[in-house]
């Protein structure tokens, strides 16, 4: 099956942001700096500490990032959200609290008309997160 993994672009703070996401979500974080890559010779010295590629992996969650900004520049918008499907009420509450630190909570975690817990926020890096815990989906995966 084909899988989509979010790949976030930062402007020099990829290491900080991905470390924040690791602290919020757990998992294993791998960082490759530009200075430790074959691109190092082609980049200005100020870019050597920047992150070429970061990967955060926890179970089926894969979140990637970079400090390499496309030629058109980095455009932050509202066309993409990161939808985090949590496995328990405790997990959704913990993730919401951590991800919203320093950011902007939009909707607190609360029960929805469709029977799930849901909330959303903009984190301190400007990324929009949708958090869901749906008991019916979780129990159907365990069968």
Question: What domains, with CATH codes, occur in the chain?
Answer: 7-66 (3.30.720), 82-141 (3.10.180.10)
Is 64:29 a contact under the CB 8 Å cutoff? no
Is the confidence at residue 15, as pLDDT, over 90?
A: yes
**Is 39 a residue whose pLDDT tops 90?**
no
At 138 the pLDDT is 55
How high is the mean pLDDT of the chain? 91
Rg of the chain on CA atoms, in Å: 17
Proportion of the chain above pLDDT 90, given as a percent? 69
Nearest CA to 50 out of 39, 35, 65, 37 is that of 35
* Its pTM surpasses 0.95: no
Q: Tell me: the pLDDT tens digits for 51-99?
A: 999 999 999 999 999 998 888 888 877 788 999 999 999 999 999 999 9
């Amino acid at each position: 099956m084909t899988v989509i993994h979010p790949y976030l672009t930062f402007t020099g703070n990829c290491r900080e942001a991905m470390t924040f996401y690791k602290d919020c979500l757990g998992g294993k974080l791998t960082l490759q700096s530009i200075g430790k890559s074959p691109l190092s010779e082609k980049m200005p010295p100020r870019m050597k500490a920047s992150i070429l590629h970061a990967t955060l992996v926890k179970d089926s969650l894969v979140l990637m990032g970079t400090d390499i900004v496309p030629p058109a520049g980095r455009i932050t918008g509202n066309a993409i959200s990161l939808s985090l499907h949590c496995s328990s009420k405790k997990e959704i509450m913990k993730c919401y609290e951590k991800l919203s630190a320093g950011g902007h909570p939009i909707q607190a975690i609360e029960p929805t008309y469709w029977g799930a817990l849901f909330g959303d926020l903009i984190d301190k890096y400007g990324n929009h997160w949708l958090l869901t815990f749906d008991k019916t989906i979780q129990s159907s995966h365990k069968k």
